[in-house]
């Protein structure tokens, strides 16, 4: 059986964000029971609880491991152990890789990443803390369109090119391998097929056809509207200019995917400005009425 759990659902900065007093952040601080705080985006997949694979590594990873029993070390296996066997890195985006630095302490790990993402990470001296002894990190190079198995789990994973750009801190790595910048993941086991695409700069025909073949899709829910960020914080860009298709509008995700067959459609990577974070909002109701779910921290597919 394929287990897929969301350990965090917020975009970078989490929710509420430390330096933000926008309407949704303020309401989460005032009424956390109604407008739930969220940890930064993180997912985990496994077929056996002895071999868990993280999809990216958020800055909130230490809390996410402690809050999910399956991810904690076992008392019957000696003082040093973890069920986390590996990490799939789909991007070099800081919010998705910062948690790697929390996974040190000489713990052997498999890291699945494109050659470009590996190069970007290894260019930063911090990552050497994870490469202090032989075989601490075992890098496994992945490529768009080429399936691989997550360890011995029987879970097939196929990366696919999502376009987009290298993050600001890594621009000097150039664009000579654009297909290695950002990956979506197709995960398959026992007839279950899941697409994990928390960053969607455009809904292309090939992405639509991948979604159409899935039982569940996890999709970029960063922004409700294209102008949302610029309205909350003067001088900030439009959603589509920074690589996120918004949920609403005629060119938004809900409209563009309304004709998909009946599958589970779940929004993840919710920015702190997104009004859907408040379940009393009209935006939240519109998402639910359109047949979508808003991902929740701790939510597991099929449960
Ligand atoms: Zn905010």
Secondary structure string (H, E, C) spanning 225-280: CCCHHHHHCCCCCCHHHHCCCCCCCCCCHHHHCCCCCCCEEEEECECCCCHHHCCC
3-state DSSP assignment of residue 183: strand
Residues of the chain with pLDDT > 90, as a percent, come to: 84
Interval 168-196: pLDDT, tens: 889 888 778 999 999 999 999 999 999 99
Residue 220 has pLDDT above 90, yes or no: yes
pLDDT at residue number 289:
97
Query: What ranges do the domains of the chain cover?
Result: 42-184
Higher pLDDT, 228 or 121: 121
Q: Which residues, 6 or more positions from 193, have their beta carbon under 8 angstroms from its beta carbon?
A: 186, 187, 213, 214, 215, 216
Dmax (CA) for the chain in angstroms is 56
pLDDT at residue number 173:
87
Using the mean position of ligand 1's atoms as its centre, give its distance from the Cα of residue 278 in Å. Answer: 12
Using the mean position of ligand 1's atoms as its centre, give its distance from the Cα of residue 277 in Å. Answer: 10
Using the mean position of ligand 1's atoms as its centre, give its distance from the Cα of residue 10 in Å. Answer: 11
Between β-strands 137-141 and 148-149, what pairing exists: parallel, antiparallel or unpaired? unpaired
Interval 256-300: pLDDT, tens: 999 997 789 999 999 999 999 999 999 999 999 999 999 999 999
- Which whole number is the average pLDDT over 134-159? 97
Higher pLDDT, 233 or 90: 90
Q: Give the distance, in angstroms, between the CA of residue 176 and the centroid of all CA atoms in the same chain.
A: 25
pLDDT at residue number 171:
87
Closest CA to 23 of 233, 236, 221: 233
Fold observed for domain 42-184:
Metallo-beta-lactamase; Chain A (3.60.15)
* Whole-prediction pTM: 0.96
Using the mean position of ligand 1's atoms as its centre, give its distance from the Cα of residue 60 in Å. Answer: 18
Residue 76 has pLDDT above 80, yes or no: yes
Rounded mean pLDDT of the chain? 95
Residue 234 has pLDDT above 90, yes or no: no
| Backbone CA torsion sign across 147, 93, 229, 273 | positive
Using the mean position of ligand 1's atoms as its centre, give its distance from the Cα of residue 20 in Å. Answer: 4
Using the mean position of ligand 1's atoms as its centre, give its distance from the Cα of residue 40 in Å. Answer: 14
pLDDT band at 303 (very low <50, low <70, confident <90, very high): low
- Which whole number is the average pLDDT over 135-141? 95
């Amino acid at each position: 059986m394929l287990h897929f759990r969301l350990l965090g659902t917020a975009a970078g900065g989490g929710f509420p964000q430390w330096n933000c007093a926008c309407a949704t952040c303020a309401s989460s601080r005032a009424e956390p029971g109604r407008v739930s705080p969220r940890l930064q985006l993180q997912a985990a997949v496994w077929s056996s609880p002895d071999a868990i694979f993280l999809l990216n590594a958020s800055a909130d990873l230490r809390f996410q491991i402690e809050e999910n029993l399956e991810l904690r070390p076992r008392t019957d296996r000696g003082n040093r152990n973890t069920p986390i066997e590996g990490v799939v890195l789909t991007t070099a985006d800081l919010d998705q890789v910062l948690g790697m630095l929390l996974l040190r302490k000489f713990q052997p790990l498999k890291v699945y990443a494109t050659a470009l993402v590996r190069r970007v990470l290894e260019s930063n001296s911090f990552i050497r803390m994870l490469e202090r002894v032989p075989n601490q990190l075992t890098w496994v190079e992945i490529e768009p369109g080429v399936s691989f198995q997550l360890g011995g789990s029987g879970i097939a994973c196929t990366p696919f090119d999502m376009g987009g750009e290298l993050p600001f801190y890594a621009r000097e790595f150039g664009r000579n391998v654009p297909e290695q910048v950002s990956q979506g993941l197709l995960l398959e086991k026992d007839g279950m097929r899941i697409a994990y695409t928390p960053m969607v700069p455009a809904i292309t025909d090939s992405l639509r056809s991948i979604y159409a073949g899935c039982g569940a899709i996890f999709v970029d829910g960063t922004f409700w509207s294209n102008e949302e960020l610029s309205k909350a914080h003067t001088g900030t860009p439009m959603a589509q200019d920074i690589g996120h298709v918004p949920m609403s509008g005629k060119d938004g995700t809900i409209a563009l995917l309304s004709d998909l067959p009946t599958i589970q459609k779940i929004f993840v990577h919710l920015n702190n400005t997104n009004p859907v974070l408040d379940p009393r909002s009209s935006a939240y109701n519109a998402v639910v009425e359109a047949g979508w779910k808003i991902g929740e921290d701790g939510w597991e597919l099929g449960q």
